[in-house]
Amino acid sequence: MNLKDEYIKFFVSKGHKQIPSAPVIPENDPTCLFTTAGMQPLVPYLMGQKHPAGTRLVDYQKCVRLNDLDEVGDKTHHTFFEMLGNWSLGDYFKEESIAWSFEFLTEVLHIPIKRLAVTVFKGNDTVEKDTESANYWKSHGIKEEKIAYLDAENNWWGPAGETGPCGPDTEIFYWRSNDDVPEKFDPEDERWVEIWNNVFMQYNKTDQGKFVPLKQKNVDTGMGYERVVAVLEGVDDNYQTSVWKDVIHKIEEISHLPYQGNEKSMRIIADHLRTSVMIAGEDIGIKPSNTDQGYILRRLIRRAIRHAKALNIDVSSHWEEQIASLLIEQYQEYYPEVKRNKEVILNVLKTEKEKFSKTLEKGLREFEKAISHLQDNVIPKEVAFKLYDTYGFPIELTIELASEKNMKVDEKGFQEKFKEHQEKSRMGAEQKFKGGLSGQGEMETKYHTATHLLNAALKEVLGSHVHQKGSNITPERMRFDFSHDKKMTEEEKQKTEDLVNDYIKRAIPVEKLEMKKEDALKLGAEAMFIDKYGDVVTLYKIGDVSLEFCGGPHVSNTSELPHFKIIKEEASSSGVRRIKAKLQ
Ligand code: SER
């Protein structure tokens, strides 16, 4: 028995017309990234527009919901799922809706009545208690003890966005446990799982927050396919059902590892690749990018890659193609677009994989390095931003890595830096357009901070007679002139280089300070040309390593600098030496 086919057949036998699934990317709706429910493409018809297929409709709808994205990896959550639904557009109402749901569950799916329970709306200021629905349930033999009356939090559905059709609902629960079915239904008991939702859509929520009766009374039902299959097959792990078995098996085969003990990564790979196949498989042609649906696609693929790596899958092999091909084969009968766009899908996955696998390893090392120097358990915004900007780690991936180590990420700080960066690139683009670069690019900024670190390291290694005599920075290298009267030994150079790299590793915050010049001098701040500065000066403080008069700009944390390497040490002029160095 195939649940999708049976569902369609049953409702067609009750006078419904089957309509095709709408794309998972909403058509003509820029306010929503994805289709999240079967009713979403039907909103105009629930509002009163005439549907060409009539007033009774049935379908299975591709849906993507992101609110549970972080939960994926457990037994039941998915980012993509299929929703079975039937609708009455001003046609039948509560009586038939409840009668047919009951008939389908007990006579087609053969669920024993004692394993069923329902919730109905207990009423509020807008709508009265739904005793009508409760009575219909009772007429089919559902006992009063198996009916729970709940508030709007639980038994009111919609609108899907801020405004639109909504109404009270009645939800159907199944006893998913080998324990004896209790006499009384407790909706809080997790052994009862919701399997179907029948919404009686008779109100329109306006933008003033009012509930206005719709022209017509509608029914909107939704049944989560994956969940009901799990119920029917008697397993509590969705990924062990017929929906996922072959895909999980394929991942076991590719990774040479058993599902048991590796569930989380295997579930994430399976779920995320399936959703990616569905998004990339739409005719509209979504490609991984840094905005909107493209960003979600990128996040999903990158997270799948990172979990493939966690399973020691050779990421450069055709693993993703094998899994995606299997998924396409499984879904093409229901969603022909995935077959039609197979080449596109495989290409999207491969290209994104090639892009990300180049930086993934380095980024993971960077992450490990950064956390080994943390004083607390919060990943600083600079580290998160560098992982994003340099290594292509979506912030969510960094958060996930952190949470695996019981750490948090300074998300707010990251968002600020992200905005700042966007602003900078916008300004940079404008500058370039005007025909000149300002010379304050990202690399120059990093080199600028490196001069402060080098200055401090040289003082440490050679002595306090060292002062900066000049510097010159390009995006590719730095030159630093300083007072010292003899050639540095190999050992001194090595020590200096190591010290700078040590400062970088320590992830020291770089702070900008403003104070009176005399106070700054009292603090022992290093200055190249004291007279150049006015009464109030700007200083940059790098922990206890360095305090220098300087106008900036600088990075905000030393960890943003890559590895520092001295290329050459030579004489510049009498009593002045010159170091050429690179950040690499
Ligand atoms: N719109 C309701 C839901 O998403 C029923 O289809 O649960």
Q: What is the pLDDT of residues 13-47, one digit of tens each?
A: 999 999 999 999 987 666 688 999 999 999 989 99
Cβ-contact 148, 184 below 8 angstroms: no
Task: Establish whether residue 247 lines the binding site of ligand 1, counting it when its CB lies within 6 angstroms of any ligand atom.
Answer: no
Q: Is 201 helix (H, G, I), strand (E, B) or coil?
A: strand
Supply the pLDDT for residue 574: 76
Supply the pLDDT for residue 28: 67
Report CA(54)–ligand 1 centroid distance (Å).
Answer: 20
Cβ-contact 382, 417 below 8 angstroms: yes
pTM of the complete model: 0.71
Q: Which residues of the chain have pLDDT under 50?
A: 430-439
Closest residue by Cα to atom 2, ligand 1, is: 222
Q: Domain 3-239 in CATH: superfamily?
A: Bira Bifunctional Protein; Domain 2 (3.30.930.10)
Which atom of ligand 1 is closest in space to residue 198's alpha carbon?
5
Supply the pLDDT for residue 379: 95
Supply the pLDDT for residue 438: 36
Task: Establish whether residue 222 lines the binding site of ligand 1, counting it when its CB lies within 6 angstroms of any ligand atom.
Answer: yes
Q: Is 541 helix (H, G, I), strand (E, B) or coil?
A: strand
Task: Establish whether residue 85 lines the binding site of ligand 1, counting it when its CB lies within 6 angstroms of any ligand atom.
Answer: yes
CATH class for the region spanning 440-583? alpha beta
Report CA(196)–ligand 1 centroid distance (Å).
Answer: 8
Supply the pLDDT for residue 321: 98
Supply the pLDDT for residue 530: 59
Which atom of ligand 1 is closest in space to residue 37's alpha carbon?
4
Task: Establish whether residue 39 lines the binding site of ligand 1, counting it when its CB lies within 6 angstroms of any ligand atom.
Answer: yes
Which atom of ligand 1 is closest in space to residue 160's alpha carbon?
1
Closest residue by Cα to atom 7, ligand 1, is: 222
Task: Report the C-alpha gap between 157 and 137 in whole angstroms.
Answer: 19
Supply the pLDDT for residue 538: 81
Q: What is the pLDDT of residues 337-384, one digit of tens each?
A: 999 999 999 999 999 999 998 899 899 999 999 999 888 899 999 999
Domain residue limits, the chain: 3-239, 244-356, 440-583
Is beta strand 116-121 parallel, antiparallel or unpaired with respect to 164-175? antiparallel
Select from 39, 42, 68, 173 the residue to mutate for testing ligand 1; criterion: most ligand atoms less than 8 Å from CB: 39
Supply the pLDDT for residue 440: 66
Task: Establish whether residue 221 lines the binding site of ligand 1, counting it when its CB lies within 6 angstroms of any ligand atom.
Answer: yes
Task: Establish whether residue 199 lines the binding site of ligand 1, counting it when its CB lies within 6 angstroms of any ligand atom.
Answer: yes
Q: Is 398 helix (H, G, I), strand (E, B) or coil?
A: helix
Cβ-contact 453, 504 below 8 angstroms: yes
